[in-house]
Amino acid sequence: MFWIISLYILSSFVYTFSNPERLRNTTGYDYFNFVLVLTFFNLVPKIVLSLFTIISGITSFFSKQIARTVFSSGLIIALGVMLTMAYSVLVDKKQVRVEEVSLSFDLLPEQLDGFTIVQLSDIHLGSLNGDKTIIRKTQKIVEERKPDLILFTGDMVNNFSYETEGYVGFFGEMKACYGKLAITGNHDYGDYYQWKSPEEQVENLAAIRDSIRKMGFDLLLNENRRLQVKDTAIYIVGVENWGHDPFPKYADLKKATAGIPSGAFSVLMSHDPAHWDAQVVPQTGIPLTLAGHTHGLQFGFRIAGIEFSPMYFIQKYWAGLYRKDNQQLYVNRGLGTIGFAGRVEMRPEITLITLHRK
């Protein structure tokens, strides 16, 4: 049974991911998600147990009792890992967490002191499979917090416009005093699917943008908006996705910031946090940038208030708050999932940002 199960899972993984074109030609990720979850459930506990078995074998030369204790501990920990993964797939990915962040700025106008922003990101509606749980929870939290502004920083879908069906009304009911604004993320362009023609991809992107607008969002495509708040103004800047090779870089920061007066307080939405380090900091003085994209790898550890994810080795700015001189970046961990259909100690996030004047 051990070898039958192991060989089945291994062969399924090899078959599923040996041909990248198979992924680019599928419209549904249910089978791929199933294989990924099955692979993790099979391999991770085995790796843990293998390490303890090796240690047990070494210690057996000195003490049989210690060796048995080490091996038993390995069994318990491996079982714990398996149960934790099961919890992440069945429960944790639906446990929305509100991250409250207070940010202070030297140049913030007094009238904006206490201004609140709800940031949403990376919903990936196609991965919800029609489940409205997270969206309903998000809707309720937004209603309770009554933010001044709602900003969505990209990846509404996995690839396709039809993924928004049945969700438009939920987002339409989310309200903020000064409105809702959004940008597109890498998945919203449909670049991960092999389209029959360029025109088909363009039509799909147009339909996604139309759905986002029907949700009540003002969609910013390399442009900015001036919001009048009392007797001052705040500028919201939105760039298209700043992609990594081989995907296009749609972002045009110069175009997006055109017309903003010198010294005006502005907030930039840029889906990929790598854009902040590459262009935003060297080329602008924008005090606050909001991003998403990383999901915090949907896996991490939070011990004694310290959080870490292996995503750090892939993306330097993987989650939370970062600072460089007078500029700040906040990376939202996202609401949905992509790839692995779970979240291990990396729950879906709604960020409540409060601006303060120093």
Q: What are the boundaries of each domain within the chain?
A: 2-90, 97-357
CB distance 115 to 102 below 8 Å? no
Sequence-ordered list of residues with C-beta below 8 angstroms from that of 30, at least 6 positions apart, any chain: 129
CB distance 9 to 46 below 8 Å? no
Pairing of strands 232-238, 223-229: antiparallel
Q: Return the pLDDT at 42.
A: 86
Please tell me the distance from the alpha carbon of residue 270 to that of residue 185, in angstroms, as a whole number: 8
Q: Return the pLDDT at 301.
A: 83
Please tell me the distance from the alpha carbon of residue 357 to that of residue 122, in angstroms, as a whole number: 29
Angle at 320 (CA atoms; ends 282, 103), nearest 5 degrees: 75
Model pTM score? 0.89
Residue 4's H or E segment, with its range, is: helix 2-17
Structure tokens at 53: 């078995």
Calculate the alpha carbon distances from 87 to 41, 91, 93, 335 in Å.
12, 5, 9, 17
What are the pLDDT tens digits along the chain (358 aa)? 988 988 998 898 888 888 777 777 777 777 888 888 888 888 889 999 999 999 999 998 889 899 999 999 999 999 998 898 888 888 889 999 999 999 999 989 999 999 999 999 999 999 888 889 999 999 999 999 999 999 999 999 999 999 999 999 999 999 999 999 999 999 999 988 889 899 999 999 999 999 999 999 999 999 999 999 989 999 999 999 998 776 788 999 999 999 999 889 999 999 999 999 999 999 999 999 999 999 999 988 877 778 889 898 888 999 999 999 899 999 999 999 988 888 988 999 999 999 999 8
Pairing of strands 349-357, 116-120: antiparallel
What distance, in Å, lies between the first and last C-alpha atoms of the chain?
Answer: 65
Q: Return the pLDDT at 222.
A: 97
> What's the CATH number for 97-357?
3.60.21.10
Beta strands, E only, 106-231: 116-120, 149-152, 180-182, 218-219, 223-229
Bridge partners (DSSP) listed for residue 174? none
